[in-house]
Structure 1
Amino acid sequence: MGFFDWFSRQPAEAGDNSAQASEEPAVPPWSMTPTHAAMTSADLMDFMRGGETASGEYVTTSKALENMALLRCVSLISESIGMLPLNLTIRGEEKAYAVDHPLYRVLKRRPNEFQGPYKFKSTMQLRALIHGNAYARVIWRGNTVVRLIPLDSRKVTPKMNDDFTVRYEVQRPDGSVVTLAARDIFHLADLAPDEHGLIGLSRVDKARESIGLSLQAQKAAARIFKNGVMAGGALSYPNKLNTQQIENIQNSLQARYAGADQAHKWMILEDGIKAEKWANTANDSQLQEGRNHQIEEIARAFGVPRPLLMMDDTSWGSGIEQLGIFFVQYGLQHWFDIWEDEVALKLLTEKESDLYAAKFNEHALLRGTLKDQADFFAKALGSGGSKPFMKQNEVRDRLDLPKSDDPAADSLESTLTRNANVPPATT
């Protein structure tokens, strides 16, 4: 029970407060969605854990998201997970979609009454990246999953029972705590260094010092623009100028040389006036280098390549394809595995896990240029005399084209071989 729960907790009702696992709750599940009208114990603990970093910046979760590098990292990963299809497939050689299974509709069409699959997946992934854990209440109808309701990550605590089963303690908005069985919570956990590997670590928390330093550097740059002298140079005159002369020179410069249209025009100076341009100081360069270094540190924490943070000045050209492959393999693949394993563990029975598997379709992120795709699919269909390893309808499916009615479209026989077996037309 949290610190603030002691004041808001209502007298306990008679009976066990653990929820029934196999039935839909009498209270609408979205009633467990947290409110933010007042500070909760989770908010207080987030503030207390944040504390003051060595840079002097207090870093909480909401404060961390004000850093554009971190926001780009978590949004890039979350949006990528959200847009990729998560399909329930039938195990075996056919690799067909399990469209008749009720879970297929939940994952692919409607996870709950107020979210589509993109919003549900991206929301869960964002919370897993920020807090280290993302939770969703599993609503059952008998042995069938009918809904997945996201929960506030800060109000759910997984605990290990003496028999090595897991329970989840969920704090409701009224301060009461309900205990749920493991099958009732869909749990995405990042790297979990705790004793039983239950609670994922927060990358935002571990990168707190780098985030704090980056926020302080951003404030320092803002203070320079607000309070610093931003003049581009100076005009020096051997004699003393009166107020009217200074004003005349300023007006002349503004009228003749200010603005982008007047850039690089030559100035005509009289009476010994000399112009001196001010260059950037070493401190200015160090400030910019420091900000760039902190961006790299935050990118490392989330496994996002520098160019995807819009950092590099150089053009990658054809290398951008390899960069995308790198991001999928080392920035997204482990999250694919976490999602797929949790679906098998929580949303399918042990018997069903032998028949079905959840699978992300990452091919949308790995597509190359049109020329590269054409060359690959041509070879896959047996171009150049090689043995084909894809059927025409498989290629059409990869390209989101409708299935062909041609019987040969489901054959591995190449076009050249098929044409060679056709007898010549008689005249």
Structure 2
Amino acid sequence: MKMFDMFRRKPEAQSRPSASASGVTFTGLDDPAFLEYVRSGQNGVENKMLRNTAALRCLTLLCNGLGMLPLSLYREGNDKQKATDHPAHKLVRVKPNPYQTPMEFKSQMELLLETEGNAYARIIRSGSRPIHLIPFEKGRVTGKLGSGWRMQYQCTTENGGQLTLDQDEILHIRDLSLDGIEGLSRRKLASEVFELAAGAQRAASNVFRTGVMAGGAIEVPNALSEQAYQRMKQSMDEEYSGAENVNKWMITEEGATAKPFASTARDGQQIENRNHQIEEVARLYGVPRPLLMMDDTSWGSGIEQLGIFFVQYTLASRMQAWEEALARSLLTDRERETLFFKFNVRALLRGTLKDQADYFAKALGAGGHQPWHSADEVRELLDYPATDLPHATQLGQPSGKKESNEPTKTT
């Protein structure tokens, strides 16, 4: 027997169906299911999680909500001016890297943070100036605490090489952490939640695929002839099926009676179980139930308080983590004494126009209140131009000079 004969398949083995992974049968190396299995990694756990609509909704709210908020670098002091001359301000507000907008960068980093517990971006510098923030893909960075209590990061490049970077060269944002070095992955901690939700989804799919979904039955006292059965079946299909025949009266023959099927407790339990899985995912990310389109009664007058709740108890801690991580990585020790990063959450906390009008009236001194805003400050908060612009008169705004209707006198 030749040496390589032992690796050959026996004829009976070649005729067997190909092996499967996780219950999915692959027909060959070009099978789409096999290619997705290979690309996804770890049996597609991440993709399965994002296919959960509740998780996708939560992550969309968190990542896009944080990504859309303006993030600026400010100077300490009474005037609280933006440090637009600092290179870090341009990175977070204008252009973090050559291929991403600030919202795209923040959304991608927040998605990695929510799913993996850690988000990493390499800081590219020109001399001492940070000029680019390049986010790392999942699984390409491993951090450890080195000598001198400084973080060291082992990074895998796109071509497979290894690179060790100091903490000054990496922007690292952590989720909850047990050791202060690596954040905890919510996806891994709640793996059973997503598995149970996927099981409930498959069970519901099986009910629709194999279950009896008839709305009721027509009972007859005696057996119908083939002709009578075919005529009744044709009448049901043509005259009483479809949305156009809703509430249409049915004519029965030969003592036939219609008995609709009622919803059973088992059906209600299935719906309750699926709603419970949505609540588990919402609890995992701290997103209120109404934002996942579950409670219709919470919309309306309570939507303003719901938005405040989402900002204060869900986004606030995440924004704080971003601000402090950026200051640690992009500012020097001396700069951190006078500069700080801050998200602008005003757009998410604005009330109705009536509430804004009452607030600004008091801010300008109406009702005997001590004014704490000037007119131009109010206009800036509303994204209006200042009143002292040169083109104010051209826009029909008063210029401060009184017009006279008297004819011009000449001497």
TM-score w.r.t. length of structure 1:
0.80
Match of residue 241, structure 2, among 258, 263, 275: 258
Who is 1:418 aligned against?
none
CA distance in 2, matches of 1:313, 1:252: 40
Please report how far the alpha carbon of residue 263 of structure 1 lies from its aligned counterpart in structure 2 after TM superposition. 1.1
Matched, 1:337 2:320: yes
1:182-331 matches, within 5 Å, as: 182-194=167-179, 197-331=180-314
Who is 1:55 aligned against?
none
1:44-99 CA-to-partner distances (Å, cap 9, x unmatched) read: 6x44xxxxxxxxxxx71121111000011111100011100001111111111111
What are structure 2's unaligned runs of at least 5 residues? 1-34, 390-411
Matched, 1:71 2:56: yes
What are structure 1's unaligned runs of at least 5 residues? 1-35, 48-58, 407-427
Who is 1:404 aligned against?
387
**Paired residue secondary structure (1:235):** strand
Please report how far the alpha carbon of residue 122 of structure 1 lies from its aligned counterpart in structure 2 after TM superposition. 0.6
**Paired residue secondary structure (2:148):** coil
Q: Is the 8 A contact 2:290 2:298 kept in 1?
A: no
**Paired residue secondary structure (1:201):** coil
Who is 2:151 aligned against?
166
CA distance in 1, matches of 2:218, 2:109: 59
Who is 1:92 aligned against?
77
Amino acid at match of 1:364: A
CA 1:37/1:356 → structure 2, altered by over 3 Å: closer, same or farther?
farther
1:113-145 CA-to-partner distances (Å, cap 9, x unmatched) read: 000101001111111001111100000111111
With a CA cutoff of 8 Å and minimum separation of 6, indicate the structure with the bigger relative contact order. 1
Matched, 1:143 2:128: yes
CA distance in 2, matches of 1:404, 1:143: 40
CA distance in 1, matches of 2:351, 2:246: 42
Please report how far the alpha carbon of residue 273 of structure 1 lies from its aligned counterpart in structure 2 after TM superposition. 0.5
1:132-159 CA-to-partner distances (Å, cap 9, x unmatched) read: 1110000011111100000013110110
Amino acid at match of 1:155: R
Amino acid at match of 2:190: A
**Paired residue secondary structure (2:259):** strand
Amino acid at match of 2:83: A
CA distance in 1, matches of 2:262, 2:298: 28
Amino acid at match of 2:367: G
Amino acid at match of 2:294: M
CA distance in 2, matches of 1:223, 1:348: 56
Match of residue 102, structure 2, among 100, 105, 117: 117
CA distance in 1, matches of 2:263, 2:245: 22
CA distance in 2, matches of 1:401, 1:383: 21
CA distance in 2, matches of 1:292, 1:88: 42
**Paired residue secondary structure (1:344):** helix
- The worse-fitting range, judged by mean Cα deviation, of 158-167 and 109-118 is 158-167
Q: Which has the larger radius of gyration?
A: 2
CA distance in 2, matches of 1:264, 1:38: 49
Who is 2:339 aligned against?
356
Who is 2:66 aligned against?
81
Amino acid at match of 1:179: T
1:56-67 matches, within 5 Å, as: 60-67=45-52
Who is 2:3 aligned against?
none
TM-score w.r.t. length of structure 2:
0.83
CA distance in 2, matches of 1:175, 1:147: 22
Please report how far the alpha carbon of residue 271 of structure 1 lies from its aligned counterpart in structure 2 after TM superposition. 2.0
CA distance in 1, matches of 2:298, 2:173: 36
Please report how far the alpha carbon of residue 315 of structure 1 lies from its aligned counterpart in structure 2 after TM superposition. 4.7
